[in-house]
Structure 1
Amino acid sequence: MISSLNNVILNRKKMNRARLQDQLSQWNGNDTKVLSNLYSEIERFEPNTFLGLLPEFSRAITWLIKHHIEQGYALSESDTASLFAASKTCSDWQAQLHLLQIAVLINCRPELLDMIRDTIQAGLKSERPFLRAWAFEAEFLRVQFQQSELKKLALKIESILPLEKASVKAKLRKISEKIKNLKS
């Protein structure tokens, strides 16, 4: 299914897979304005269409999918499952961050989050504060209906809170508040 979607004409300028790959290969890896412009050129954005470009362009593809969601579009459960399955080979930390952000933005079901459990666990241990913060949020979504796991998460947050940077502390406090609200 993914390979047939990859051959779909993506926009008015007939942005086929080869043209898209060419544009992504010229991207410097940092300037999201370039990706935003590329996104706006695509007439009908289908997240599944881009999955064949993972892992080579994982940072760009995950950013484009996250941007699509931030524009108010939904990501179907099957697209989410396909994304999470295809992303198992993504080792780029920014691609992992985008996956975690996507999971939180769409309020992903715990069963789907189990597909990226390794990404979540790696994020929880990451040296990168922003990645760590989003990993905690995704982990909360993953375990929110499992009392024993939720309790472990609450204890972990409580133990590391004093050691965290301010940006991570703020997110951890919000998660702690959500946990308390679930218990009441």
Structure 2
Amino acid sequence: MNLKEQLSNWDGKSTDYLGNLYDLIKSDSIFVDQLFDVLAEENLQTAATWLVKHALENGALLDQSRTYEFYNNADALATWQARLHLLQIMPMLRVPEELRYKLAKFCRFATEDENKFVRAWGYNGLYELANLYHEFRDGLDVVINSAMETEPASIKARLRNIKKNINANWQ
């Protein structure tokens, strides 16, 4: 059974299934190529982005062309889970300079998402971009402070961590 079929068999919930699948295919030399082949398919995006995230968390590396491709296709991620995975990957995978404005726009839209997880990680994405590219630092404090007044407690926890990182790393 190929990767596309295996991802199609996923129930949409069990990360154990995806973790076991990762363990089975991680040593396959074309694993990453197969993952990127299915990223364009909306019904497989959540599983594919989860696997990319899981691989990075386990020490895998993406070359520059795959990194570029991953971030360049951010706008095509249709599910909130796939968008969340991309945002969660940002601390692990450097955003290419030529895509920094595209990802800033993606992150700003994420801060308006109806899903609270995506919103929280959207703010974190803005921080990650500002950490890499200093031109994004101006105004980030205003955005974070404004969000602290309007966002629910679950998002405020992420915002407090961002403020702490800003204070520790940018002073």
TM-score normalised by L of structure 2: 0.84
CA RMSD in angstroms comes to 2.2
Structure 1 counterpart of 2:36: 51
Relative to structure 1, is the Cα distance of residues 166 and 75 closer, same or farther in structure 2, using a 3 angstrom cutoff?
A: farther
User: Within the alignment, does 1:140 sit opposite 2:127 as a pair?
Assistant: yes
1:1-184 correspondence runs (5 A):
19-42=2-25, 43-44=27-28, 46-56=31-41, 57-108=44-95, 111-144=98-131, 145-147=133-135, 149-184=136-171
Q: Gaps (5+ residues) in structure 1?
A: 1-14
Within 2, Cα distance between the matches of 1:70 and 1:88? 23
Within 2, Cα distance between the matches of 1:109 and 1:176? 24
Relative to structure 1, is the Cα distance of residues 170 and 111 closer, same or farther in structure 2, using a 3 angstrom cutoff?
A: farther
Within 2, Cα distance between the matches of 1:47 and 1:135? 25
Relative to structure 1, is the Cα distance of residues 115 and 49 closer, same or farther in structure 2, using a 3 angstrom cutoff?
A: farther
How much identity, in percent, do the aligned residues show?
A: 33
User: In the TM superposition, what is the alpha-carbon distance from 1:114 to its structure 2 partner?
Assistant: 3.4
Letter of the 1:44 counterpart: D
1:112-157 per-position Cα deviation (integer Å, ceiling 9, x unaligned): 443433431221111222111111111112123435x423111111
CA contact (8 A) 1:48 1:82 kept: no
Q: Gaps (5+ residues) in structure 2?
A: none
Within 1, Cα distance between the matches of 2:87 and 2:141? 19
Within 1, Cα distance between the matches of 2:11 and 2:60? 26
TM-score normalised by L of structure 1: 0.78
Relative to structure 1, is the Cα distance of residues 36 and 183 closer, same or farther in structure 2, using a 3 angstrom cutoff?
A: closer
User: In the TM superposition, what is the alpha-carbon distance from 1:74 to its structure 2 partner?
Assistant: 2.4
Relative to structure 1, is the Cα distance of residues 151 and 87 closer, same or farther in structure 2, using a 3 angstrom cutoff?
A: closer
Structure 2 counterpart of 1:11: none
User: In the TM superposition, what is the alpha-carbon distance from 1:75 to its structure 2 partner?
Assistant: 2.6
1:43-84 per-position Cα deviation (integer Å, ceiling 9, x unaligned): 236434321212221111100000001112223332211112
2:13 partner SS? coil
